[in-house]
Amino acid sequence: MKAILSIITLSLLPLLTACQSNQLSKTEDNGYRCEQVRSLGTSIPNKRCTTKEQRREERKHAQDQVRESQRNVLTSAIGSGG
What's the rounded mean pLDDT across residues 2-14? 57
Residue 11 has a pLDDT of 63
Residue range of the domain that includes 35: 26-82
CB-CB neighbours of 82 under 10 Å: 5
E-state strands within the chain = 33-38, 45-50
pLDDT higher for 51 or 81?
51
> What Å distances lie between residue 62 and 23, 39, 57, CA to CA?
31, 17, 9
What's the rounded mean pLDDT across residues 5-18? 55
Residue 9 in any domain: the answer is: no
- Whether residue 36 contacts residue 47, with contact meaning beta carbons closer than 8 Å, is answered with yes
Count: domains in the chain: 1
- When the pLDDT of each residue in the chain is averaged and rounded to a whole number, the result is 78
Residue 13 has a pLDDT of 55
Residue 52 in any domain: the answer is: yes
